[in-house]
Structure 1
Amino acid sequence: MRLTLLTGLLLSLLGSGFVGFIQQPPAAAKPNVIIVMADDLDSRQLSCYGGRNLRTTHIDALAAEGLKFNHIYASEAMCVPTRASLFTGLYPVRHGSFQNHKPVYNDLKSVGHYLADLGYRVGLTGKDHSTKPKTVFPFEIVSGFEPNCVAATDDYTLDGVKEYMTRDSKPYCLFVMSINPHTPWTVGDTTEFDADKLVLPSYCVDTKLTRRQFVKYLAEVRRLDNQVGDITRLLKETGQDKNTIVIFLGEQGAQFPGAKWNLYDAGQKSSMLVRWPGTVKPRTQTDALVQYEDITPTLIDLAGGKPVAGLDGKSFLPVLRGQSQQARDFTYGIHNNIPEGNPYPIRSIRDTRYKLILNLTPDSEYYNRFMMNASAQRRDGNSVWFSWIDRAESDPQAKRITDRFVKRPAVEFYDTQTDPSEFRNLANDSTQQNRIRHYRQKLEAWMKQQGDTGAALDITYAKKPD
């Protein structure tokens, strides 16, 4: 009798809809993802990465609320290859954009496909390099941020971004691609900075022109920081901050000699901050080694997808979850100098401490048309290079920096832990020869696996029609 009564009571409760105590909780919604990417950022200017020239308040807030990566590298320190690697999960030789402004191959898939297959909307606002062809990069282009990186202004509005974020309940991944601090360094408030008090990067020669230009550069870093603040405030205002992963990326280094368009750390070494409420511990940092090619596989992983066969990158989701301190053993670098200068192919490999650079045409001199104007009539232009050359006539350190930039040995090997500026080449150090051989074998094996023919790759290619 009692059993019958209990059964009846249970059925009655079920029929009335009172089932909360036996229902399974609903599955957690997939997280949204906002990726804010800088353009030509010297990441060591960020105060959360040790910069002393300005306090990057809003970027620092992401570091305080999330995980800071100390070892993230661009495989090619220029805009188009880096972005193509970010979107495809492939190294430059395999995605085809292994020279600046060289298009990717037409038969590829990208993050736009992979996340759409997992139920995401995938959008992009701002700098639109590496968004063509649409068959490879099926982004929804969102209005708001300036798409042209050499525009004299970077006026932006958040209206389109807000509409995209709040359109429906479907999860989204939005790339916010700032054009700061890319040249021409014409936006931002320069009055914040005193040129005479700046702490210049070690790769720079200290001249008045360098300091004047660096003030303009820092003003755009401030502008970038404010944009990050606007995006994070918008997330909070719309109530999406709790279920949105925010990733900040620094891209490659600044357009000063020795940084961008090179394989020194001033060009290759980047920054990444990840805020993921409830998953990533605040105020943490990691020495896990990652590259831009690893980001798309990680996005696929956190969205619940399976690894995509054939990608060069690998997911570092275990690092984000605090389950691992390691992601990969080595990162690799490639530089092809055409169309920005003469043929000057370079390759590199590094771990968290040691770095090997191979200059494949060491008998040539390095030249870059944006920083080393060929015409003496342009000595008074924006380029700081000739002020460095003039200083080198009387300053041994300036001569060392300029000589190192133009004339390079076949092999460079650095201990970046004791020599972060990469000024002491250990290629002929007898105690390093076994290590150099090991790194060289790894690098050459990677080149072979990629189909990288080395110097033969740095040539002029026929333009592909739009």
Structure 2
Amino acid sequence: MHDSATRFIRITALASGLLPVSAAAAQGEKPNIVVIVADDLLSSEISCYGGRNLETVNIDRLAREGLRMTGAYASMAMSVPIRASLYTGLYPARHGSWLNHKDTFLGTKTVCEYMAEEGYRVARAGKNHPVNPDVYRFEELPGFPVNCVSREASYDTSGIREFIARDDPRPFLLFVCSIHPHAPWTWGDPSEFDPDRLVMPENCIGDRRMREIFTHYLAEVRALDDEVGSVLETLTECGELDNTLVLFLGEQGPQLPGGKWTCWYPGVHSALLARYPARIRPGRVSDAVVQYEDLLPTFIDLAGGRRRRELDGKSFKKVLFGEQAKARRYAYAMHNNCTAGNAYPIRSIRDGRYVLIWNLLPDSSFYKTFMDLRKPANRKGWWPVWTDAAKRDSVARRLVGRYVHRPEFEFYDLADDPWEMNNRIGDPAYRARIDRMKRELKGWMKRQGDTGVGMDVPFRNRPRK
């Protein structure tokens, strides 16, 4: 029987209750896939990841009813590069978007083509990075904000509802891309949070003014959680929730020192939650190391497709389904600073416990345009709060100093230093491991064609038609 006809019969049986979800999965059905992507999320603020400032009830539901992964990482803590990796299965040096807002190489194959070959219809709602439509041929759905710096962020689910409920027997892959909690942190209700009672991140200053700012960030985390709830409600109303693998991704860290634009843990670590009751046992936790580049190969594997050796990522389907404990040995990351700052290339390698960071231009000072306080707009942000606090407070002085001035190499042991604040590069107890990780990192760069300093230069995108 033709695959689409078979699927139609299965769906009809599911709707009538004649075939339980688990039986459908056992018979090899390709699951629907919904991927909810946050924007600049400090994943440690989610309550299921230990956050104590708010209860993210909808995101937590995915963890309670599915799998929570603790070892997921972005290979670049900027939206365009990491979303290009999500959609292409390639590291930034190979897909071309190795600087923020730099176009992906023309001709790069994406999830839109790969998953169409596996019989899926593919769409995206919300934030549209990367935007070059000659590479990313998504069906773009209405209803969610597209501009990540919008000060207003109302939404509705009518676009995704129509897509999910179409009279089309093919399974679907849907990306719902929030703009929360990306700056300028103007949406939501910050009055929900008492600044004096906040538990501030360990790599953040505790100044009262910073606490006030952080309430606005948390308000957008709340808005993100509300969006997740709306997506789950829509899937339920369409009768597709339990037939769908729902993934939640935290993307990368926030626009605060130590988060976005770094290779430190709060920058590159990402929440990754997965709910699919047919195959994922509820309440599981996995420490397997995975990267955003691994998601496309996993989608292909879930669809029953063959391994695509041209991709950098590797499927972790067996980890999702509890059939395997580990995925990859190392997660790699890079940062190139041009477009909104000076040249300051960074590379890193990490496993589940240790991380080595290589700052390729350590004699330079790290600089982003938001740090220029001669510009009136920047005087209203959080950087002047940090630099002012550093004049009076030794902790703030250290945090500002480590952000601007960095040694060539940093090495951290997450077992006793999860926020990566205590550089152990000179500790002889780690010398052999450091040397091994240096070799591994340089080997990865060579395989990728990563020229290091040579990649952190200004660029010009091709003209758009």
Q: 1:121-149, CA deviations, whole angstroms, 9 ceiling, x for partnerless residues? A: 00000000114233x22211111111110
Q: For 2:453, what is the secondary structure of its paired residue?
A: helix
- State how 1:135-146 maps to structure 2 within 5 Å: 136-146=135-145
Matched, 1:401 2:377: no
- State how 1:259-274 maps to structure 2 within 5 Å: 259-274=259-274
Q: 1:403-423, CA deviations, whole angstroms, 9 ceiling, x for partnerless residues? A: 111100001000011101111
C-alpha distance in 1 between matches for 2:253 and 2:106: 28
Match of 1:458 in 2: 456
Q: 1:136-192, CA deviations, whole angstroms, 9 ceiling, x for partnerless residues? A: 222111111111101111111111111100102221000000000001111111121
Match of 1:111 in 2: 111
**Identical counterparts, % of pairs:** 49
Match of 1:6 in 2: none
C-alpha distance in 1 between matches for 2:433 and 2:28: 48
Q: 1:71-108, CA deviations, whole angstroms, 9 ceiling, x for partnerless residues? A: 10000001000100000000000000000000100011
Match of 2:442 in 1: 444
Matched, 1:389 2:387: yes
Match of 2:17 in 1: none
C-alpha distance in 1 between matches for 2:266 and 2:118: 37
C-alpha distance in 2 between matches for 1:403 and 1:258: 11
User: Number of residues paired by the alignment?
Assistant: 440
C-alpha distance in 2 between matches for 1:284 and 1:304: 24
Rate the CA distance shift 1:377–1:183 in 2: closer, same or farther, 3 A.
Answer: closer
**Alpha-carbon contact 1:131-1:139 (below 8 Å) kept:** no
**Alpha-carbon contact 1:415-1:422 (below 8 Å) kept:** yes
Structure 2 letter corresponding to 1:205: I
Instruction: State the TM-score, normalizing by the size of structure 2.
Output: 0.93
Match of 1:336 in 2: 336
C-alpha distance in 1 between matches for 2:30 and 2:454: 45
Q: For 2:256, what is the secondary structure of its paired residue?
A: coil
Match of 1:186 in 2: 186
More divergent stretch after superposition (183-192 vs 49-58): 183-192
Match of 1:429 in 2: 427
Match of 1:147 in 2: 146
Q: For 1:124, what is the secondary structure of its paired residue?
A: strand
**Alpha-carbon contact 2:360-2:453 (below 8 Å) kept:** yes
**Alpha-carbon contact 2:373-2:384 (below 8 Å) kept:** no
Match of 2:409 in 1: 411
**Alpha-carbon contact 1:106-1:133 (below 8 Å) kept:** no
Rate the CA distance shift 1:263–1:416 in 2: closer, same or farther, 3 A.
Answer: same
Residue 341 of structure 1: CA displacement? 0.6
Matched, 1:174 2:206: no
Instruction: State the TM-score, normalizing by the size of structure 1.
Output: 0.92
- State how 1:30-179 maps to structure 2 within 5 Å: 30-134=30-134, 136-168=135-167, 169-179=169-179
Match of 1:13 in 2: none
C-alpha distance in 1 between matches for 2:454 and 2:202: 33
C-alpha distance in 2 between matches for 1:28 and 1:163: 26
Rate the CA distance shift 1:48–1:465 in 2: closer, same or farther, 3 A.
Answer: same
Structure 1 letter corresponding to 2:139: E
Match of 1:311 in 2: 311
Unaligned runs of 5+ in 2: 1-22
- The two structures, once aligned, show a CA RMSD in angstroms of 1.4
Structure 2 letter corresponding to 1:393: K
C-alpha distance in 2 between matches for 1:313 and 1:455: 24
Residue 380 of structure 1: CA displacement? 3.6
Q: For 2:458, what is the secondary structure of its paired residue?
A: coil
Q: 1:204-249, CA deviations, whole angstroms, 9 ceiling, x for partnerless residues? A: 1112221111100000000000000011011111111121110000
Q: 1:376-398, CA deviations, whole angstroms, 9 ceiling, x for partnerless residues? A: 7556412x122222222222111
Rate the CA distance shift 1:377–1:188 in 2: closer, same or farther, 3 A.
Answer: closer
Q: For 1:33, what is the secondary structure of its paired residue?
A: strand
More divergent stretch after superposition (207-216 vs 373-382): 373-382
**Alpha-carbon contact 1:91-1:312 (below 8 Å) kept:** yes
**Alpha-carbon contact 2:373-2:379 (below 8 Å) kept:** no
Match of 2:258 in 1: 258
Structure 1 letter corresponding to 2:149: V
**Alpha-carbon contact 1:39-1:181 (below 8 Å) kept:** yes
C-alpha distance in 1 between matches for 2:342 and 2:109: 32
C-alpha distance in 1 between matches for 2:310 and 2:28: 30
Q: 1:301-350, CA deviations, whole angstroms, 9 ceiling, x for partnerless residues? A: 00111111211000000101211000000000100000121100000000
Match of 1:10 in 2: none
- State how 1:171-250 maps to structure 2 within 5 Å: 171-250=171-250
Residue 29 of structure 1: CA displacement? 3.3
More divergent stretch after superposition (202-211 vs 244-253): 202-211
**Alpha-carbon contact 2:74-2:270 (below 8 Å) kept:** yes
Match of 1:288 in 2: 288
Residue 433 of structure 1: CA displacement? 1.2
C-alpha distance in 2 between matches for 1:444 and 1:380: 40
